[in-house]
Amino acid sequence: MSQIHSSAIIEDGAKLGNNVSVGPFAYIGAQVSIGDNTTIASHAVIEGKTTIGKNNRIFSHAAVGTIPQDLKFNGEEVELIIGDNNTIREFTLLNPGTQGGGAITKMGNNNLLMGYVHLGHDVIMGDNCILANGATLAGHVELGNHVVIGGLTPVHQFVHIGDYVMIGGASAVTQDIPPYCLAEGNRARVRGLNLTGLRRNMERADINELKSVYKNIFEQGKPMQEVAKEILETTNSEKAKNFCTFILASKRGIPFTRNTKNEDR
């Protein structure tokens, strides 16, 4: 049975699942759909064509599904889709997509958005990501799975960030960051592999394979794309293939400073 505070406003047409809790002075628009066991705290605003899955927690003063911050937006039908088991903290801002970007902003499962995080229009986010306080994703940004972005970090529009990436706090990300890497700085540059994250989630053999791939790509002195193609032709490692495919597909480029020293990363 849902628990709806008497001061909450829920427009006709909104769909609420079982055991949904809506706090004081929250607002839920007519096109909103909310899955079972989701909690909406006081003063949260959920608008537009927004679909929210099960077991989510949306905290006070979050603004979810409000129109895109794009001057080209002219009232087209656009959408925000949120998966299951996400935590969306205070004063977060999540915008739907735009007609020019596919019309959908999408967040997967088991993500944590800390206070004041912004997901811009047409952002695509995977699963198990953590965005610390004040992280800001501009329009069309794509995040893989298990990504961690430090606090007060802006990410430029159209940037792609791969699986298991760690971005240091107060960085400014303007180019693509390959999977499994650690990046930081203003402008952010690839500094090495995200070894802490990898050790928590992967076998030693996979990590050693990624170390070899990283050194070959960034420390040989040959063009990255050329080395990535060579590795793809010989490797049987899915993670190595993921790394190399990402580099070959990058449109904004990979930010790094070439290091020819044979250092263990």
Q: Residue 153: how many CB atoms within 10 A of its CB?
A: 24
Angle ∠(55,112,155) on CA atoms, nearest 5: 140
Residues of the chain short of pLDDT 70, as ranges, are 259-265
CB 184 within 8 A of CB 161: no
Are 134 and 35 part of one and the same domain? yes
**Residue 258 confidence (pLDDT):** 73
Same-domain status, 14 and 101: yes
Where is the domain boundary, 125, 140, 155?
A: 140
Tell me, yes or no, whether 8 lies in a domain: yes
Residue 183: inside a domain? no
Both 41 and 127 in a single domain? yes
Number of domain units in the chain: 2
* 115 closest CA partner among 60, 186, 36, 180: 60
**Residue-range definition of the domain harbouring residue 243:** 198-249
pLDDT at 262: 47
Residue 186 covered by a domain: no
What is the structure's pLDDT at 2?
83
Residue 219 sits in a domain whose CATH number is 1.20.1180.10
Q: How far apart are CA 257 and CA 265, in angstroms?
A: 15
Instruction: Indicate which CATH number applies to the domain containing 108.
Output: 2.160.10.10
- Same domain flag for 216 and 106: no
The strands making up 118-119's β-sheet, listed across from edge to edge, are 9-10, 27-28, 45-46, 63-64, 93-94, 118-119, 136-137, 154-155
d(CA 233, CA 228) in angstroms, rounded, equals 9
Q: What are phi and psi of 115, to 5 degrees?
A: -55, 140
User: By the 8 A CB rule, do 14 and 29 touch?
Assistant: yes
Catalytic residues: 121-122, 139
Residues 118, 237, single domain; the answer is no
CB atoms inside a 10 Å sphere around CB 184: 18
As a whole number of angstroms, the distance between CA 104 and CA 56 comes to 19
Give domain status of residue 188, yes or no: no
- 15 lies in the same domain as 124: yes
- How high is the pLDDT of residue 79? 98
pLDDT for position 220:
85
Q: Are 82 and 211 found together in one domain?
A: no
Distance CA 88, CA 118 (A): 10
Beta strand pairing call for 45-46 and 33-34: unpaired
Q: Find all residues with CB under 8 Å of 142, minimum gap 6, and list them.
A: 123, 124, 125, 159, 160, 161
Q: Which amino acid would we find at residue 185?
A: G
Query: Is 69 among the domain residues?
Result: yes
| DSSP string computed for 136-190 | EE-TT-EE-SS-EE-TT-EE-TT-EE-TT-EE-TT-BB-S-B-TTEEEETBTTEE
What pLDDT, on the 0 to 100 scale, is given for residue 261?
Answer: 55
3-state class percentages of the chain: helix first, strand second, coil last, to nearest 5: 20, 25, 55
Distance between CA atoms of 238 and 240, rounded to whole angstroms? 5
Q: Are residues 225 and 133 part of one domain? A: no
**Residue 256 domain flag:** no
